[in-house]
A and B are shown apart, each in its own frame.
Chain A
Amino acid sequence: METPIDPEQNPEPEKPAAKTPEQIAKEQDALLDAQIKRRSFIAFGTFTALGVAAYGSWRWLLKSPDEVAGVTAGAHAPLRRALNKNELFFRKLFYNEKHLVRTYPKEMAAKNVRVNSDEGLKTKFDPAAWVLQVKKKSGEVLKITIDEIRALPKTEIVFDFKCVEGWDQISHWGGLKFSDFIEHFGLQEEAKLEYCGMETPDKQYYVGLDMPSVMHPQTMLAYEVNDKPLPLDHGAPLRLIIPVKYGIKNLKRIGTINFSDQRPRDYWAELGYDYYSGL
């Protein structure tokens, strides 16, 4: 920019000596150096600060205390919050009872169905003396025999059973559709509650399930595997098959069924696993 020169104030402006090309180059070089230094300093400073902050956050998360033990336990408190938020996100946005698990032809079902766990099956047990106990809202306890359940229309499913560990196996189950069970035994009022809980007769294994998953059209109380009565290690006389959940929720040897608006206790959720465990 050119400013008009006031001759009185600055009678003889000194003309700067013409710079040699070397001087110009040198000055430009110094300018460039300063610019490089400034930009590098800001960039590396920011990078280091953010890096330290990120590392600090990670250490915080890794060392964060476990949640207060309740219905769920054993997970870092912030991660448990995340698991619960994930549940809400996927339930609200994506869960739909019309979303069915894929089914397969019978021939594809495994002949040797994997037995992965015997939690809740270790107590001495007489299948002949078994009755299913259903705790109603009124406090009344329904006692249902296996013959009553077998007398109702049977449904079958051949689906890919998925374990939380990561394995899967196509297996074939037969039993009573859970929504038919609700209907037949007059449990409509109970089905309006938020949750359903199931426990083995010895109370050593127990699951809590959200009602939409329990009422899913593919959920059943199974008494057959591969067209034969359930063996004891698969949960005779009656087990849960709930294809919208991991295997951990598919309780064997159901002793009691209860209903609640609060989350019923859940064996694996007390050990750090997601309560919902929905697929």
Chain B
Amino acid sequence: MRKIKEKHSLAMRWFHWVNFPVLTIMIWSGMLIYWGNDVYTLSIGGHVFFKFFPEGFYRFFHFSSRLAEGMAFHFFMMWFFFLNGFLYVVYSIISGEWRNLFPEKKSFKEAWLVLLHDLHIRKTAPPQGKYNAAQRIAYSAIIVMGFGSIATGLAIYKPVQFNWLCWLCGGYHVARIIHFILTLGYVFFFLIHILQVVLAGWRNFQSVITGFEVVKEPSAETVPPVTETPIDDGNAN
């Protein structure tokens, strides 16, 4: 027996698909700004392993010499990023959807099992609700990161008017570094996220557009009653 299973509410789909392009524009315009003082490196003991960013990277994306433009876009789009994120959090709290998302005590232990399962080291994954343990942690972390980006962003945007916030973020200098690292975090998240979505398949992906998934329900006639189906209801991402 097939069945329509409601998965993602309209609000959640809206927040997700608004956030994606808006965050992309924020990162793009952020890069135009970062170019103005691109001093960050990955270095240990004075040895520079990587410079953010190599010249060819700027050239490829046309990031160079566009600081004013970057600031103008960044300080316009920030409102949409903030508003969408704010409404998302409010909605999650009011609707109770946060319960699906917030890591539980066991999530931290289970996340490893999920990882091992995803890496094909372990055959089975722990039973899950809408999201598995690793997803709960990753998606909640993204929300915390969003808060972080807004807080550090505001701290470097108005460090005098919000001097208390700037102080909380470790000062202007540190706040800019955190703001940058969080951005790297989004890009890293995005890469993993895309990989997981591809692996989870079309059925899972389209549910983020339609809101539902068609699931096979084991009925008494077709399936013997005592079956432990290994979880694979396309919930991977």
Contact = CB atoms under 8 A, between A and B. Distances in A.
Interface of A: 25, 29, 32, 35-36, 39-40, 43-44, 47, 50, 54, 58, 74-76, 78-80, 82-83, 86, 90, 94-96, 99-102, 160, 162-168, 243-244, 268, 271-274, 278-279
B57 interface: no
B147 interface: no
A272 B161 contact: no
Contact of B167 (A86, A102, A279): A102
30 contacts: A25-B1, A32-B2, A32-B3, A35-B4, A40-B206, A40-B210, A43-B211, A44-B210, A47-B17, A47-B209, A58-B25, A75-B72, A76-B72, A79-B72, A79-B73, A90-B161, A100-B160, A101-B159, A102-B166, A162-B159, A163-B37, A165-B36, A165-B37, A167-B37, A243-B160, A244-B160, A271-B68, A278-B160, A278-B161, A279-B160
Given A54-B21, A162-B172, A272-B72, A94 B209 contact: no
Given A95-B161, A164-B36, 14 more contacts: A32-B4, A47-B209, A75-B72, A79-B72, A79-B76, A82-B72, A83-B75, A102-B171, A160-B171, A162-B159, A164-B71, A165-B37, A166-B33, A273-B71
Contacts of A271: 68
Contacts of B206: 40, 44
Interface in B1-28: 1-4, 17, 21, 25
Interface of B: 1-4, 17, 21, 25, 33-34, 36-37, 39, 67-69, 71-73, 75-76, 158-163, 166-167, 171-173, 176, 206, 209-212, 214
Contact of A94 (B67, B161, B176, B214): B161
B76 to A, nearest CB: 4
Nearest to B211: A43
A83 B160 contact: no
A272 B36 CA distance: 14
A279 B25 CA distance: 23
A44 B72 contact: no
Given A94-B162, A279-B160, A36 B36 contact: no
B210 A164 contact: no
Contact of B75 (A36, A39, A274): A274
B151 to A, nearest CB: 15
B128 to A, nearest CB: 24
Nearest to B3: A32
A127 B209 CA distance: 69
A194 B49 CA distance: 51
A96 B173 contact: no
Contacts of B162: 94
B160 A166 contact: no
B174 to A, nearest CB: 10
Contacts of B68: 74-75, 268, 271-273
A101 B162 CA distance: 10
Nearest to B22: A54
Contacts of B173: 160, 168
A102 B159 CA distance: 9
Contact of B69 (A25, A243, A272, A279): A272
A160 B166 CA distance: 12
Nearest to B25: A58
A44 B209 contact: yes
A247 to B, nearest CB: 11
Contacts of A39: 4, 210-212
Contacts of B25: 58
B162 to A, nearest CB: 7
Contacts of A279: 158-161
A82 B76 contact: yes
Contacts of A100: 160, 163
Contacts of A25: 1
A48 to B, nearest CB: 9
Closest 7 CB pairs of A and B: A166-B37, A272-B68, A165-B36, A43-B210, A79-B72, A82-B76, A94-B161
A32 B89 CA distance: 34
A179 to B, nearest CB: 17
B4 to A, nearest CB: 7
B209 A43 contact: yes
